[in-house]
A and B are shown apart, each in its own frame.
Chain A
Amino acid sequence: MILDCRFANVCCRFDATASLYCLQTLSCLSSFQLPLSAATSNLSCLYFKLDVPVQRPLAEPLHSFEYSDAGCKCEFFVDGGSYFFCMTNVIDETHICLRYDGANTVECSTLIDHSFSRFAIWFAVSMFLVNHNASFIHASAVVCEQGAVLCLGESGTGKSTHTQLWLRNVPNTFLLNDDSPIISALGSSPLACGSPWSGKTPCYRPEQVPILAFVRLRQAPYNKMTRLSVAQSFAAIYPSLPPSLAFAEHFASLFASIISRCLLSTPCFLLECRPDADAAILCHDTILPQ
C-alpha cells in the first residue's frame, strides 16, 4: 500500500504493510497527504520502505541522546555509506531502526508506536530535506503580511509564548508551525513551510511563504532587538537545525550552505524580551517598519 506526502519541496512515498495502520492514524500527516493521482514528477521523492528489518550497526554512534517524549534512547550512525537512526524504548527495549542510503531510499523496521513513528519519520525526512537545500528548524513560525518570522531558541525560552503574543496583538497574523517548520533555500528567496511536526500545538499547515526574518529569543527583564552580524546569525540559526545531523560532516556542510543562502537575503535578530505585548510589537515594527 502506497501513501504519498509532500513536505516543502520534496515528496515522500511510504510503502507499508504492517505499518500502514500506524501511518494512517498519524493525523498530523493527513494535511500533507497527496491524492494518488497527484503529479509528483517535479518533486524529488524519498522512497520510504517500511516493514523491512534493519539491524542496528555495530559501529559507535556519531550522536546519541534521550528523547523523553517517546521515552526512548536515540542513536545516529554513519556506517558503510549509509545513515542509520535507531530508537530503543528505555523500559521494554523494543526498538526500531531505519537506514537512509544517502540518496532517495529509506528502509525502516515496522512502526510500533505513534511517538516513535512520528520522530523516526521526522528524522528520515530531515536527512532527505537537507540533501535538497531544505531543513527542519526548531522554531515557532508566525506569518504576517505574507511572510514568516521564525522565532528560535532553546526549549523553554518562550518561542510559542512570543508567537502567541503576535497572534493576540498584531493584526492579520497566523501561526504556520509551532515547533518544526521547514526552511527551503532552493531559490533566491528562502521559504518557510509548514510541516506535520508542530510540537504540542496541532498546527499542520501545508503552506509556504517567504521568510521575513529569523529572531533568536532570549529572556530578559526588558525588550530590546538587535540585528546580528553574519557570524552571530550563523551561531543563532545553526543550533536550531537538527542537531544530530550536525555531527556528520556531509550534513554540517549542507547546513552551512542552507544558512548562507538564507542570510544573503534575510536578516537575523536577537530579541531580548519579556513575555508581553510590547515585545511582539517591537519585533513586528523592527522587521516590518511602517
Chain B
Amino acid sequence: MHLNPKYHFHDVAGEHIAVPLNPSDGDLSKVIAFNDTSMALWNHYQHTNFTLDDVVSFLTSEYDVPFDRASADAANWISILKDNGLVFDE
C-alpha cells in the first residue's frame, strides 16, 4: 500500500494537520490531525510502499511497545487512514 501524495502537512498552532491539496469533491474542510507517532510513520513511508508488517516493525523498533500492541496499533492506523482516503492499496 502507499500514502496519498495529495495530502500535505502543516504545523498549525503546534499540531500536525493533513490537508488535501486538490480534493476531488472540492471539500476543503476534510482535514485530519496527526499525533507525533502518526507523523513519524507518515514521514517514514511518504515516498515508499509498505505493508502492515513494515508498520509493526517500525513501531517495535522505534518505540518501547510490545509486539501485540504494535500490531493492533498498526492495523488501526492503516484502517483509519484508508477510511479517510489517506492510504491506498496497490
Task: List residues of A whose CB falls within 8 A of some B CB.
Answer: 62, 229-231, 234-236, 238-239, 243, 246-247, 249, 252-253, 256-257, 259-260, 263-264
Q: How many residue pairs bridge A and B at CB < 8 Å? A: 56
> What is B's interface to A at a CB cutoff of 8 Å?
8, 10-15, 17, 19, 21-22, 26-33
Chain B residues whose CB sits within 8 angstroms of the CB of A260 once the complex forms: 10-13
Chain A residues with CB under 8 Å of B31's CB are 231, 234-235, 238
| Contact partners of A259 in chain B: CB under 8 A | 12
Contacting pair B29 A252 (CB below 8 A): no
Whether the Cβ atoms of B14 and A253 lie closer than 8 Å is no
B10 to A230, Cβ gap below 8 A? Answer: no
A230 touches B13 (CB 8 A): yes
Determine the distance from Cα of A256 to Cα of B21 in the docked complex, in whole angstroms: 12
Check B11–A238 contact: CB distance below 8 A: no
The list of the 3 closest CB pairs from A to B, nearest first, reads A256-B10, A231-B33, A239-B28
- CB <8 Å contact, A230 and B28: no
Would A230 and B32 count as touching, CB distance under 8 A? no
Q: Which B residues are in CB contact (< 8 Å) with A231?
A: 12, 15, 17, 31-33
Look across to chain A and name the residue whose beta carbon is closest to the beta carbon of B22.
Answer: A247
Given contacts A230-B15, A231-B15, contact A253 B28 (CB under 8 A): no
In the complex, A234 Cα to B14 Cα: how many Å? 12
User: In the complex, A264→B14 CA distance in Å?
Assistant: 9
For the complex, what is the distance from the CA of A230 to the CA of B15, rounded to whole Å? Answer: 7
Q: Are B19 and A243 in contact (CB under 8 A)?
A: no
Q: Looking at A62, A235, A239, A263, which has the most chain B CB atoms within 10 Å of its CB?
A: A235
Can you pick out 18 interface pairs between chain A and chain B where the beta carbons lie within 8 Å of each other? Answer: A62-B22, A230-B14, A230-B17, A230-B33, A231-B15, A231-B31, A231-B33, A234-B19, A238-B19, A238-B31, A246-B28, A252-B19, A253-B10, A256-B10, A256-B11, A256-B12, A257-B10, A259-B12
